[in-house]
Homo-oligomer: A and B are copies of this chain.
Amino acid sequence: MAELTRRLGRLRPAPENFLSEADLKAAREGRRRFLRTSLLAAGAAAGAPLGAQAGEADPAIVNLPPWTTSPGSPVAARPYGSPSRHRSALQRRELPGLSPVGANSASYCPLQGLFGIITPSGLHYERHHHGWHDIDPSRHRLMINASRPGLIAEPRIYTVEDLMRLPPVSRIHFIECSGNTGTERAHATMPTVQYTHGLLSCSEFTGVPLRLLLEECGVDFRRARFALAEGADGASLTRTIPMALIESGEVLVAYGQNGESLRPENGFPLRLVVPGVQGVSWVKWLRRIEVGDAPYATREESLHYIDLMPDGQHRQYTSIQECKSVITTPSGGQTLLSRGFHNISGLAWSGRGRVTGVDVSVDGGRNWRSARLEAPVLAKALTRFNFDWVWDGQAAVLQSRAIDETGYVQPTPAELRAVRGTGSIYHNHAIQSWQVRPSGEVVNVQVV
């Protein structure tokens, strides 16, 4: 610690890329002014001890701002609060040109400005196939039925309230669109981590294990080997879920997210939670589960969400999101304003279980050192890592590499490409590289 604090004297801030160009300019200029002021103030404080009462503070040191000299807003002024207006630039954003139809598109989570592992629900990424509605929960139903007689003893229909009265579980899990990082499969493309990796979020979900509902309906688990999940959106999105996942108890019919009801954009009032599996299978606005004895090969399993391999064959049902990580700061679009200490922070996750380690390289993968993992480290949840770095002002390439409890190591782009080629859009979990230029600018590069 003592050595670290000595180095911290040389710390200079790097504005996040949710700041505007004007903010960036102000930060560059304001920094020099502040350093002069604060050094003077610190000197003055050392020579002139202050009393315990704030009112006695020396005006030469603290020029009291309006929030200290005037009464503030009352409690419950906002019965449901929102972020500071000073953080309004932190938004989920559509990628211009991604889709001609906003109702069939995606918005990206601003990972570069987030902390810890919980994604604020207001910034959760979106992927809609036919837009989102704020469904009236009193009119919504979940039906459980079967593709043919004999697979289920008693089909049932549940109201949302029925489900909320059943024994619930709460679990923290990541959700990642399998298209996340799909733009980067052949070469570096997107300027910021919001667009390279922002189809990723993590929440505490609350709901009922789907297994419990199927047991209640008397499903014959020896014969019903698959289930079809169907959404109430205009796309009536459908995905096949292997019964083995459901029988494990991990698959939830969720109504809660981060302590409250799901948000409309994330499937209110009900969505499927399929831990470790690509986001498209977490069917939103869930209205039906049909049990069957074969995969359904629906539109979203045949035309999309498939992996085109180098031999021209498609792989279907490759739904587990493999071990992956990314540095979120410093990252593309940010600028290091000076040499000295910079904390490298990022996220790691695996659809196979817990992350057991994250290595960080600052020289493009030649040397690696272990990052610190923040607790709690949970299975199929985001894990936050941090890493001390002193920038010497030279060009550097920052990378992170995650390892999960199965021993699987996140591959380089070259390793992934050797198996997959570059024709596949989905499931790109290769190592991401950010180049720090001598100017301090951070840009997306690909180191194969």
Contacts and interface: CB of A to CB of B under 8 A. Distances in A.
A55 B170 contact: no
B115 A70 contact: no
Interface residues of A, number: 156
Interface stretch (A34-42, A361-369, A418-426): A34-42
Contacts of A53: 236, 238
B115 A92 contact: no
A17 interface: no
B260 A386 contact: no
Interface in A212-226: 212, 215-216
Interface stretch (A116-124, A185-193, A395-403, A434-442): A116-124
Given A256-B115, A343-B167, A388-B167, A72 B131 contact: yes
A263 B83 contact: yes
Interface string A257-287: 0111111110011000000000000000101
A85 interface: yes
Contacts of A128: 72, 74-75
Interface stretch (A44-52, A304-312, A349-357, A405-413): A44-52
B133 A260 contact: no
Given A92-B76, A157-B38, A165-B14, A258 B120 contact: yes
A84 B49 contact: no
Interface string A356-389: 0000000000000000001110100000101010
Interface in A155-190: 155-157, 159, 161-162, 164-172
Contacts of A4: 167, 212
A143 interface: yes
A90 interface: yes
A341 interface: yes
A59 interface: no
Contacts of A287: 62
Contacts of A101: 74
A85 B134 contact: yes
Contact of A132 (B72, B135, B232, B264): B72
A73 B131 contact: yes
Contacts of A268: 84, 86
Given A215-B5, A233-B68, A258 B14 contact: no
B258 A118 contact: yes
B80 A91 contact: yes
Nearest to A235: B54
A2 B211 CA distance: 11
A230 interface: yes
B258 A258 contact: yes
B234 A122 contact: no
A92 B215 CA distance: 38
A161 B27 contact: yes
A80 B126 CA distance: 11
B11 A162 contact: yes
Contacts of A106: 75
Given A9-B216, A41-B143, A45-B143, 8 more contacts: A14-B165, A49-B149, A52-B298, A62-B141, A67-B233, A68-B232, A69-B234, A79-B91
18 contacts: A4-B167, A34-B159, A42-B155, A45-B155, A46-B145, A50-B290, A52-B228, A52-B298, A74-B105, A75-B107, A76-B93, A76-B94, A76-B102, A80-B90, A90-B261, A117-B204, A118-B204, A375-B378
